[in-house]
Structure 1
């Protein structure tokens, strides 16, 4: 028995040793194979590349055909930028519901709070502008402030106590009834050629168009698919920072062209004298409102002296000067039970609630959730979408030009160090939406807008469009010699960054160069394309000729503007002087190649992606297009295999 038992064990151990040796030898062979140099210069497919992206790039080039400025077709989920993005949780505010809220200029005490805590008595302190643009103060307190009372001013702090000694303290925002503003509308008639539309411009600081796609998908989807908005895909900044974005929009001028307003500079004056567009709207009888959070770094107060007087009929700056001192006693991004961004959004809606059918110009620019970190703006997406939906459901957008926008892309994040990040910085989100009836009444304007969505556009154009809202002239072709062109006119295809007042290092237009057909990228791409075409017809080789290259007729490379890659930062505090000592490396180039095959002289065009980091040449099979007529060349297979008609040249018998 013992001999019988030992023998199988020995055999088992011997087999196991042989198996281990075999695995070891196989591992050495695999290691040796991997060490052998291999040609990695081309791949017909790249597992890390979205195959549909090359198609979108080609489509973008076709839609921009004939334009002097061709903007890049960026991938919002490109691997070079996705490392900087993460999903953030929703804001969790206090579970204790705010005791006080505002409804159309009326102070209200929550019934839920009364049911829970009994009778509530509140002391009300109106918050108003102080002695300068940097202070806010309280007016005389009102105690008690009865439920249902009219607001004294737009903003107030409130301290409440219940009958059982529970306490509540917070700051709130709304729109108080202003008799003077209401009467002004009835006294002033709109200009003869005015379109009679309200303007609501709502934006976020530092959000590129690509980042908007990544971080605000619900808002964008509702805006484009339900409201039928139009995005300006070629919108290009004209300078560094928020003032260089908003000043051209609101005044039509650069900071250098306006009177000196920088704190500490000789002759500096408050910015009240600037030609603000809201002054023109106010003269036309419009109610005007301007909201910007982050009062500590206000666009016109951080470097500049700010306003001597309140610039618009309603202005949120006093609210934020007071509210920011209270942030520490609240949960992050909250004021009591309400997210701070909702307070901001609701205030914009309150302007519409208070003034109803009266003409309005409202601009809200929110920065807290996007200025330092684009990821955080995700928390606004759902509420921003619901805000737009609420306006639409209440028919408030039926006489409103709605503008969603940003000033520039991310400036302070690591993403700015990538080639795509630099391009995104120069191409912020900007989009318009018109009421459905507007296209029927002004079809030429909407037609131009759709054309302009692919053209080079700037903040100066937005300013000219505001003037056209107040005094519409025509929808003729714009003059490329003018720096600003109303978007109601067609932007000329020939427009360049120089025409539009954009310095080279801010110009996102692609550089394109004719490339010699002997270039290795061209040769390898064409070889791969012809191999791909021949693979389609290989099963029918007795009928279809094997194609060869006759000649390359055109090869063009599109690449990022070299001035963008050189731009490191602004070398001065005011963003006026560029430091071009940077050496950011581009990630990829794109080529468009046209070639002729023989026999048959078939002409083909393809778009190729050259990944510079990996030296990969990506040829999408779907993007090899036959561009001349094939006539009877594929007659031998066209009935049975119609999909092969562009690729088959029948063998003549």
Structure 2
């Protein structure tokens, strides 16, 4: 009986405990099931589990993201080596070019046969041909000249050289570039006194296409370490793009204006003209007595040539485009990214070094922009690390940086690389690498300007600010320190208010990295309506080309985010005290509109688009702008049918003949 009573009493308690646990589990399960039923099971795009995971990633990568009252814009402090992005990068190994060394050495406006080539081959005889710019789309080859010995002064920046060893020995042929002696340019710059310049300094801006601040740290670590730790370079941690693609990044820097504000230059548009008349900042530097130099590789998709009509006249004193065009056809005879034994990126860096040697005591404005590694595959950028480091060390050891503002930069983060579809990749696109380095003596001569610059490095800055900074270097004018409305562009040599917002800087919400987004469901009713409105908007853009372009349909919603507004900005009314130290806030201030950022896929063609739309709750309408639609996967030849007639529509057009 004792054992029976013990078993019954103890067993009954255990049964009650187990039953209670089962009931609790069932309640939780039913509650979760009802929640999922209410929100809708997501069959396409984002599942509830994905939403939770993505928000967790978002919280992780934005670990130091804060909405501070002290500063209106706080950019996220993203981990360059976060697992969510590192899976998209890989070790590319060394770049191996032809083992047979190039026969010709080029330096400082001259060229000669290398001693190593002479010792390896029989008597070498060479012919060289000067190459000239004919127009924006072609070049011309000059008369033949022969040499066998000595140092030859380059007649032009670009030279074709062909050599023969003996009568029947090996041959060599290649196209080389340097900064040739130009009497006209030297006469002009030698007349300059630079007395009217506020900061008589060289400007060297060297950049890579599509490199976020974090990708630069991942792929160019040696250069970044030397630049910041040895040279004392300053990184702009609040630098934010203002538009989509390279033109929208470089035009504000080089002209102070957006493409829309400048004269029409797009192909196929009524009244379109070449871009010669744009207010290029190198024109201002040239008037101030500077030698000017500009170059970008991948000239077949040049920044001002792909969609725009390019230049009629050569825009700068030394122009890279003729070399790029002349070498285009011979790329196939060398290993990828090489010209013989030379790495193509190093040729551009040597071109920059030649400019410093050719114009040693004259001021220079130099902008070199390299794209072919980083435009589509960020990992390959690592190939340039050692050579870029070598260029910086050369300039420093030769004392050229003692009179130079050195700028290392990019236009934007990755747009087509796979990392772009990650949450962190979206932020990184909006936060490219941009940095300055000043001579060691600069802080003593310009203490207030240097102090302002260092403080501004942590604030919201834009391409418009770089343009204003260039203008201040030439002429530092007194300006109203407290204007009624902040100018769009603010010089980095003047204090930038902490309360500057993306709106003040003319950055649309689509591009503003100051904002916080939360992942939302693809089955959300507003998200679905927004996606359909976007596709309808894109179809309207191609209506006049319907005989050539398919009408697109929504295939899937890949992800969607809704803007989480800064509550302090919404509630702030002004100051409650005369000193401006105590804020006055409204508890009832509510923004009835919302911003949705949606990544969707269309059919036919499987185009992937990222778009920011504004939802107006009052009338259940969406505001959509073509400037805030980004095509984030490649379309290749699928839009060739509108290439000449409407190149601006290529991202939306899937040709019926494709």
What is the TM-score when the length of structure 2 is the normalising length? 0.70
Alpha-carbon distance between aligned partners in 1 of 2:225 and 2:515, rounded to the nearest angstrom: 28
Q: Which residue of 2 aligns with 1:501?
A: 506
Q: 1:136 to 1:288 in 2, by over 3 A?
A: same
Residues 268-296 of structure 1 deviation map (CA, whole Å, 9 limit, x = unaligned) = 11100000000000000000000100011
Q: CA deviation at 1:565?
A: 5.6
Secondary structure class of the residue paired with 2:379: helix
Match of 1:542 in 2: none
**Given the alignment of the two structures, is residue 481 of structure 1 paired with residue 486 of structure 2, yes or no?**
yes
2:85 to 81, 87, 108: 81
Deviation per residue, 1:12-40 (Å, 9 max, x gap): xxxxxxxxxxxxxxxxxxxxxxxx9999x
1:425 is aligned to 2:429? yes
* Mapped contact 1:475–1:490 kept (Cα < 8 A): no
Match of 2:647 in 1: none
After TM superposition, the structure 1 = structure 2 runs for residues 478-627 of structure 1, keeping only pairs within 5 Å, are 481-511=486-516, 563-564=596-597, 568-569=609-610, 576-579=626-629
SS in 1 for 2:126: strand
SS of equivalent residue, structure 2 residue 405: strand
How far, CA to CA, are the matches of 2:354 and 2:482 in structure 1? Answer: 37
What residue is the counterpart of 1:225 in the other structure?
Answer: 229
1:136 matched to 2:144: no
Task: Give the distance between the partners of 1:155 and 1:410, measured in 2 at CA.
Answer: 32
Alpha-carbon contact 2:240-2:513 (below 8 Å) kept = yes
Provide the residue aligned with 1:153 in structure 2.
156
Distance of aligned partners of 1:79 and 1:169 in 2 relative to their CA distance in 1, 3 Å threshold:
same
Contact persistence 1:474–1:488 (CA under 8 A): no
- 1:491, CA displacement in angstroms? 1.0
Match of 1:5 in 2: none
Contact map agreement 1:497 1:507 (CA 8 A) in 2: yes
User: In the TM superposition, what whole-angstrom CA distance separates every residue of 1:224-254 from its partner, at most 9, and x where no partner exists?
Assistant: 0000000001101111100000000000000
Q: CA deviation at 1:185?
A: 1.4
1:316 maps to 2:320: yes
- Offset at 1:514? 8.0
**SS at structure 2 position matched to 1:256:** coil
How far 1:478 moved relative to its partner?
7.3
Aligned counterparts of 2:630 and 2:208: Cα–Cα separation in 1? 28
The equivalent of 1:618 in structure 2 is: none
Q: 2:365 aligns with which of 336, 358, 361?
A: 361
Q: CA deviation at 1:581?
A: 12
Aligned partners of 2:79 and 2:482: how far apart in 1? 31
User: Per-residue deviation at 1:403?
Assistant: 0.4
Deviation at 1:57, TM superposition (A): 4.5
Q: CA deviation at 1:414?
A: 2.1
The alignment partner of 1:502 has SS state of: coil
Match of 2:3 in 1: none
- State the match for 2:169 in structure 1: 165
Determine which of 205, 212, 215 is the counterpart of 1:208. Answer: 212
What are the within-5 Å matches in structure 2 for residues 383-394 of structure 1? 383-394=387-398
C-alpha contact 1:87 1:375 (8 A) present in aligned 2: yes
Task: Indicate the residue corresponding to 1:7 in structure 2.
Answer: none
Question: What pairs with 1:89-104 in structure 2 (closer than 5 Å)?
Answer: 89-104=93-108
Q: How does 1:166-565 map to 2 (within 5 A)?
A: 166-190=170-194, 192-473=196-477, 481-511=486-516, 563-564=596-597
* Paired residues of 1:199 and 1:400 also in contact (CA < 8 A): yes
Partner SS, residue 291 of structure 1: strand
Distance 2:366 2:630 in 1: 38
* Secondary structure of the structure 1 residue equivalent to 2:401: coil
2:234, 2:482 → 1: CA distance? 19
User: Residues 474, 120 of structure 1: CA spacing in aligned structure 2 closer, same or farther, 3 A cutoff?
Assistant: farther
For 1:361-417, what per-residue CA distance to the aligned partner results, in whole angstroms no more than 9, with x for missing partners? Answer: 000000011111111101001110111011001100000000000000000122221
Question: 1:61, CA displacement in angstroms?
Answer: 4.7
**Pairs aligned (count):** 491
Question: In the superposition, relative to structure 1, how do residues 453 and 124 fare at CA in structure 2: closer, same or farther (>3 Å)?
Answer: same
Give the conservation status (yes or no) of the 8 Å contact 1:81–1:415: yes
**Aligned residues of 2:304 and 2:310 also touching (Cα < 8 A):** yes
Q: What's the secondary structure of 1:207's corresponding residue?
A: coil
Give the unaligned 5+ runs of structure 2: 1-24, 30-52, 517-563, 568-593, 601-608, 613-624, 633-658
Q: Distance in 1 between matches of 2:197 and 2:101?
A: 49
Larger mean Cα displacement after TM superposition, 142-151 or 439-448: 142-151
Per the alignment, in what secondary structure is the counterpart of residue 153 of structure 2? coil
Equivalent pair of 1:333/1:340 in contact (CA under 8 Å): yes
- Note the C-alpha offset of 1:569: 3.6
SS of match in other structure, 1:364: strand
In structure 1, C-alpha distance between the alignment counterparts of 2:161 and 2:136, rounded to whole Å? 23
The alpha-carbon distance between structure 1 residues 233 and 433, as it changes in their structure 2 partners (threshold 3 A), is same
**Alignment deviations for residues 185-206 of structure 1 (CA, whole Å, 9 cap, x no partner):** 1223325242100000000000
CA contact (8 A) 1:133 1:307 kept: yes
Q: Distance in 1 between matches of 2:565 and 2:507?
A: 21
Matched, 1:67 2:74: no
TM-score by length of 1: 0.71
For the residues of structure 1 that align with 2:629 and 2:566, how far apart are their CA atoms? 29
**Aligned equivalents of 1:505, 1:320: Cα separation in 2:** 34
Cα distance change, pair 565–403 in 1 and its aligned pair in 2 (3 A): farther
Local SS of the residue matching 2:327: helix
**CA gap 1:153/1:514 in 2 versus in 1, 3 angstroms:** closer
Contact persistence 2:197–2:288 (CA under 8 A): no
| Residue 110 to residue 514, structure 1, CA distance change in 2 (3 Å) | closer
